[in-house]
Structure 1
Amino acid sequence: MARWSSDEPDDPPLPAVLASLDDDNCRAILALLDSPKSASELHEECGLSSSTVYRKLELLRESRLVREYTEVRRDGPNVTLYERDFSEIAIGIDDTGEFTMRVTRPETDAEDRLATFWSAMREES
């Protein structure tokens, strides 16, 4: 049985990351997320059905490769946006045969952290 470890406690499980990266539709969505986008924008840009986009976004969220947050708009309804939440993934194997993974994440500013906080609060309520 393969073992794996991670340098960071917040890193996603290796099997979830590999499953996401092995999926053509997940990779297409990740490629489109060069800037924050809504699920409907992703649906239009990648030509997948809405239900497929939402399923793939959920898989990417569970593997912590995509970050979801709510953008509050004064002039209309709020919108949920998704953005890629990594800049690099490195997978290796050490001398003991244990798989290792390192996920490099982009720097976040206070506004990003606040948006993430409010999105998490919304999910829990």
Structure 2
Amino acid sequence: MVRDPFVDDAEPDLQAVLDALDDPNCRKIVQAMSGAMTANEVSDATDIPLSTTYRKLDLLTEASILDERTEIRSDGHHTTKYVLAFEAVEIGLTEDREFAVDISRPAQSADEQLAQLWNEVRKET
């Protein structure tokens, strides 16, 4: 089943968020993000080796801190780009005194929503 990309009802995993925020290279990547960037661009901007950059991008994507987007090109070669997927991260306690994480997300344009839909379809195939 394909998840509706226009409804973000999935709560991020608390430990994944904490692990990503605790990692100095992940924080460096978040600070360096300027719009949609490829892994090579992120690596160049942060001076983090490309192999490490890919691992950190996966960690940040799993934590819902970055979104992975596919740029469709007419030549048939598609490019993966990463964008910031949050405006704020809030960690608090529930009524049951359990930790919970809430990520505030920026509004998406129609193009961004279409790109996210394409990514979800691509993951399911």
**Is the strand fraction higher in 1 or 2?**
1
| Residue 9 to residue 119, structure 1, CA distance change in 2 (3 Å) | closer
Matched, 1:33 2:33: yes
1:86 to partner: Cα distance:
0.4
Rounded Cα–Cα distance in structure 1 between residues aligned with 2:29 and 2:62 = 15
Aligned to 1:77: 77
RMSD (CA atoms): 1.8
Rounded Cα–Cα distance in structure 2 between residues aligned with 1:76 and 1:55 = 26
Aligned to 1:56: 56
Instruction: Tell me the TM-score normalized by structure 2.
Output: 0.84
Rounded Cα–Cα distance in structure 1 between residues aligned with 2:59 and 2:44 = 19
Q: Aligned residues: percent identity? A: 37
Aligned to 1:44: 44
Partner secondary structure for residue 118 of structure 1: helix
Rounded Cα–Cα distance in structure 1 between residues aligned with 2:65 and 2:12 = 8
> How many residues in Structure 1 have an aligned counterpart in Structure 2?
118
Unaligned runs of 5+ in 2: 1-7
Residues 1-125 of structure 1 aligned to structure 2 (within 5 Å): 9-74=9-74, 77-94=77-94, 96-125=96-125
Instruction: Tell me the TM-score normalized by structure 1.
Output: 0.84
Unaligned runs of 5+ in 1: 1-7
Runs of 4+ in 1 over 4 A off after TM superposition: none
Task: Give the letter for the 2:102 counterpart.
Answer: R
Which has the higher Rg, Structure 1 or Structure 2?
A: 1
Rounded Cα–Cα distance in structure 1 between residues aligned with 2:38 and 2:56 = 13
Rounded Cα–Cα distance in structure 1 between residues aligned with 2:96 and 2:122 = 43
1:124 to partner: Cα distance:
2.5
Rounded Cα–Cα distance in structure 2 between residues aligned with 1:76 and 1:48 = 29
Task: Give the letter for the 2:18 counterpart.
Answer: L
Task: Give the letter for the 1:72 counterpart.
Answer: I
